[in-house]
Amino acid sequence: MALVLFDIDGTLLRRAGPHHRQALVDAVRKTTGLETNFDNVPVAGMLDRDILTAILRNAGATAAAIRRDMPELVEQAQRLYARSCPDLRTKVCPGARMLLYKLWRRGVPSGLVTGNLTRIGWKKMERAGLKRYLRFGAFAELARDRAGLVEIAIRHARRERWIDRGSPITLIGDHPNDIRAAKANGIRVVSVATGVIGADELATHSPDILVPDLRALNWEVLLG
């Protein structure tokens, strides 16, 4: 019994195009009338709601207005992305499809822990041809931070009796925030250098395993 959790952007997919960012910007425009951009917003490793908050603050929105509009922003962004998401089969990171397939064939539950909103994350997986390998996910609107999402995912897997208290659990991600989230929950973390953060910087955060891409990861290691 084991559980493997995956980040999406930079881990399972890379260079997925501007459609996600555009959906957030368009959601802000439709909901508030404000024109926003991503200037000085380091989106890597962030949750979508935090990204929305950052671009709104840069456009002059108040904290009260952001809180009031956030439910509609979340709904609009997901709806817009579902309409615009391109074919992502060529954007799958090296080794990701084969790793997911091997885990699926062996009945190992795999899930998502991602900063994407729910329907955005699942739409990406659908358009990348990866959805069939993933049982569940913990998404941006479900917790305040990535550590909270990991906690939700673990709790769900235990509730479904896919794992027990002694089962090995691994989070695979491309950002220091993934490392912090895994350590906060006492689980193993694999860092993969297919995102915007290089291997040298990832190494300074002491992941349990660091690989250049998922082709270098032996799936048996994930089973403890």
| Whole-angstrom distance, CA of residue 134 vs CA of residue 40 | 33
| The token pair that represents 196 in the structure block | 């915007």
Instruction: Report the predicted TM-score, pTM, of the whole model to 2 decimal places.
Output: 0.94
CATH number belonging to domain 3-15+89-223: 3.40.50.1000
In DSSP terms, 136 is beta-bridged to 111
Helix ranges (H only) for 33-95 are 48-58, 63-84
For the chain, domain boundaries: 3-15+89-223, 19-84
Looking at residue 42, what is its pLDDT?
83
pLDDT of residue 219: 78
**19-84: CATH topology:** DNA polymerase; domain 1 (1.10.150)
- Return the pLDDT at 222: 81
Is there a contact between 206 and 179 (Cβ–Cβ < 8 Å)? yes
pLDDT of 94: 97
Q: How far apart are CA 195 and CA 213, in angstroms?
A: 10
pLDDT of residue 221: 80
Alpha carbon separation from 151 to 59, 78, 112, 125, 181 (Å, rounded): 33, 23, 12, 22, 9
Query: Is 132 in contact with 178 (CB distance < 8 Å)?
Result: no
167 SS3 class = coil
Alpha carbon distances (Å) from 107 to 101, 219, 223: 10, 13, 11
| Nearest of 142, 140, 141, 165 to residue 154 by alpha carbon | 165
Report the pLDDT value the prediction gives residue 17, as an integer from 0 to 100.
80
What pLDDT tens digit does each residue of the chain (224 aa) get?
899 999 999 999 998 889 999 999 999 999 999 999 888 888 888 999 999 999 999 999 999 999 999 999 999 999 999 999 999 999 999 999 999 999 999 999 999 999 999 999 999 999 999 999 999 999 999 999 999 999 999 999 999 999 998 999 999 999 999 999 999 999 999 999 999 999 999 999 999 999 999 999 987 788 77
